[in-house]
Structure 1
Amino acid sequence: MTPDFLVTHSGGFHADELLSSVILTRLFPKALVVRSRAPEWITPAEDRIIYDVGGAYDADARIFDHHQRGAPLREDGQPFSSFGLIWKHYGRDYLAATGLPDAHIETVHGAFDASFVLPIDLMDNGAMSPSIAGPLAVLTLPVLLETLKPVFDEPDPEALERAFHAALAIARSFLEARIAGSAAKLRAEDIVLKAIADAGQSQVLELPMGMPFRSAVMKSGADHLLFVVHPRDKDWCLTGIRRADEGFELRADLPAAWAGLSNGDLEAACGIEGASFCHNGRFIAAAKTREASLAMAELAVSEAVATV
């Protein structure tokens, strides 16, 4: 049954029930969010979903707490928070509601759980401290969301409720942006894999627009590729391909003679009309036309191959 109420605890709020609320309010937009610890609210009933309160985990009864003895654990023994439980049971429906293609739902669900949901679960359970981020710990999402709580001596009794809903809107923005990014990477992967197939053994990969490409390049096993060319707003971009996820070492650098040059100076250095810019780090260059960018790419390939 479609719930009339989404029930979580009153008082101070945390990232786990805020992010759970993001999922549930998207799926059940007509349901009222009720923040309470009153027994009549935190007891399971057909008209509600209860989360982060109630002292029980029973998906059939639609209660998802994790504070009780015998609290639920993941298969690897790591603890759930309410967010992890809600994502486990409702995350796939949420992704479908965003319009994500069915073929991508399991991939995004699993990746988002590992990279976004699990850290929230661990922090909420005290199994991972925000201090692992060092001096930047104040910039972790749980800490940022909790800074939106009213100060301890705020006299307005409604301030906490207003703060919760303000924090909910911000949490929604972060979660939706992260999901959108994951979905976009999968769309990009499909485009890049097709472009790689079309390119054959060329060492230059041409894409129809700027997009994430490295994961698809690695997935395809296209170790022969050295550079990527694609249109930008008003020009064309030529970039190198990193060897690994960590660090900035490229499979091939752009020619040293181009480093830091632009416009006429760069045209003179490479002999290509329309060459407009090369970063001093030799990982990205630009040209005014597609033809110029491809010519620069071929010249860069020739120099890279000659120095091997």
Structure 2
Amino acid sequence: MSTSATTDIQHPAKKLKMDESRKLIGTHNGTFHCDEALAVFLLKRTNVYANADLTRTRDPAILDTCTVVVDVGGVYDESRQRFDHHQRGFTEVFGHGFNTKLSSAGLVYKHFGKEIIASRLHVSVDDPKVETLWLKLYQEFIEAIDAIDNGISQYPTDLQPRYRLRTDVSARVGYLNPAWNEPFNSATLDSRFLQASSLVGEEFFGRLDYYANAWLPARDLVAEGLKKRTEVDSSGKIVIFEKFVPWKEHLFDLEADLSIPAESKPLYILYPDESGNNWRIQAVPVSPESFESRKALPEAWRGVRDDELVKMTGIEGGIFVHASGFIGGNKTQQGALDMAKLALTL
């Protein structure tokens, strides 16, 4: 953790002598996991617990003195600030379409995530982007930690994986625990826990910063392009971006959010290539990962280039059309637009 966010672990004997007004975060001692490492990191980024101390113990008497307890204690009760998920009958999920049982990381994120995101972005918690990022970060970062900690398989268990994947953040946190032949004492474990909390926490903030500063602005540009698509062509099936933007994921999400009917969904996306000198016309795929297009560029154009393409289409500036018809190029925006409009009719 950074110097300003250092967590001082308070051991039970020391804790009993503390000022009762001092906030104290409690979690279990011994071997640690990614979920409580992240839960503690997140709590330390809230207004209430920013200056809290940390104790790692399973002693119920000590845990009872803690202001907030995560991943131990057998109780989930937000009003009491108790966030465990191991007790019989626990079934809490994030909601909003997510059905994975929460770990301590998910529980803390569910209740404090919006505050943490708003603080990081220096905006009000009511800012619409906070809700969007809160859901996105759960989907892309937190849910997998919840699932791994709860032993939920990503795929049906009768499938044999072709290779092992042990580089995920939960695995990297796990490797910070002392090996079987290393000293296994409380001082070593507490020190390693702080390393683990810093590792997963900084990765969380790195992901949040990316989604806030790159992913969300791209979403805004795609939304603007969708809004203006009928100005490009009355059919609404052609979208123009004045600069390249990662658009596929956002396009499908926004189509769902806006309830755009199938017959009105865009078929072609226009944008300048990486050089900025030429333009691309790309057919929208049937899904973000699919190689099949909603309406590929005309079969007769596929694999044709330059003067032959100009002659075939009657549109100046033609550069190429890919052999599969998923993308083509023209020297100008107008040329690419003319190609898209013609392709709609063929």
TM-score of the superposition, structure 1-length normalised? 0.74
1:228 aligns with 2:269: yes
Distance 1:52 1:15 in 2: 11
Paired residue type of 1:58: D
1:250 aligns with 2:293: yes
* Larger helix percent: 1
Contact 1:193 1:220 in 2 (8 A): no
Paired residue type of 2:170: P
Paired residue type of 2:224: I
Distance 1:123 1:32 in 2: 28
Secondary structure of 2:181 counterpart: coil
User: How far apart are residue 297 of structure 1 and its match?
Assistant: 1.6
Distance 1:103 1:178, change over 3 A: closer
Secondary structure of 1:187 counterpart: helix
User: How far apart are residue 288 of structure 1 and its match?
Assistant: 3.1
Secondary structure of 1:50 counterpart: strand
User: How far apart are residue 79 of structure 1 and its match?
Assistant: 3.6
Identity of aligned residues (%): 25
State the partner residue of 1:81: 103
Query: What pairs with 1:161-172 in structure 2 (closer than 5 Å)?
Result: 161=193, 163-164=195-196, 165-172=198-205
Distance 1:49 1:192, change over 3 A: farther
Distance 1:241 1:129, change over 3 A: closer
1:93 aligns with 2:133: no
Paired residue type of 1:220: I
Distance 1:185 1:273 in 2: 31
Secondary structure of 1:60 counterpart: helix
User: How far apart are residue 292 of structure 1 and its match?
Assistant: 2.3
Contact 2:141 2:204 in 1 (8 A): no
Distance 2:169 2:77 in 1: 28
State the partner residue of 1:122: 147
Query: Unaligned 5+ residue runs, structure 1?
Result: 304-308
User: How far apart are residue 293 of structure 1 and its match?
Assistant: 1.6
Secondary structure of 1:96 counterpart: helix
State the partner residue of 2:180: 152
Query: What pairs with 1:50-61 in structure 2 (closer than 5 Å)?
Result: 50-61=69-80
State the partner residue of 2:28: 9
User: How far apart are residue 181 of structure 1 and its match?
Assistant: 7.0
User: How far apart are residue 252 of structure 1 and its match?
Assistant: 1.1
State the partner residue of 1:195: 228
Distance 1:17 1:174, change over 3 A: farther
1:58-109 Cα offsets, whole Å, 9 max, x none, are 3233221222445463499964311221122112223333348623444554
User: How far apart are residue 144 of structure 1 and its match?
Assistant: 4.6
Distance 1:180 1:136 in 2: 34
Paired residue type of 1:166: L
Distance 1:295 1:149, change over 3 A: farther
Out of 68, 82, 93, the position equivalent to 1:63 is 82
| Runs of at least 4 residues off by over 6 Å | 75-78, 179-182
Contact 2:31 2:177 in 1 (8 A): yes
State the partner residue of 1:102: 127
Query: What pairs with 1:203-222 in structure 2 (closer than 5 Å)?
Result: 203-209=237-243, 210=245, 211=247, 212-217=250-255, 219-221=259-261
Secondary structure of 1:143 counterpart: helix
Distance 2:130 2:225 in 1: 20
1:219-272 Cα offsets, whole Å, 9 max, x none, are 322624321112343132211122345633222111334434555665565454
Distance 1:179 1:122 in 2: 25
Paired residue type of 2:252: R
Secondary structure of 2:79 counterpart: coil
Query: RMSD between aligned alpha carbons?
Result: 4.0
State the partner residue of 1:27: 46
User: How far apart are residue 56 of structure 1 and its match?
Assistant: 2.8
Distance 2:155 2:35 in 1: 14
Distance 1:271 1:119, change over 3 A: same
1:276 aligns with 2:319: yes
Distance 1:240 1:113, change over 3 A: same
Distance 1:221 1:70, change over 3 A: closer
Contact 1:11 1:160 in 2 (8 A): no
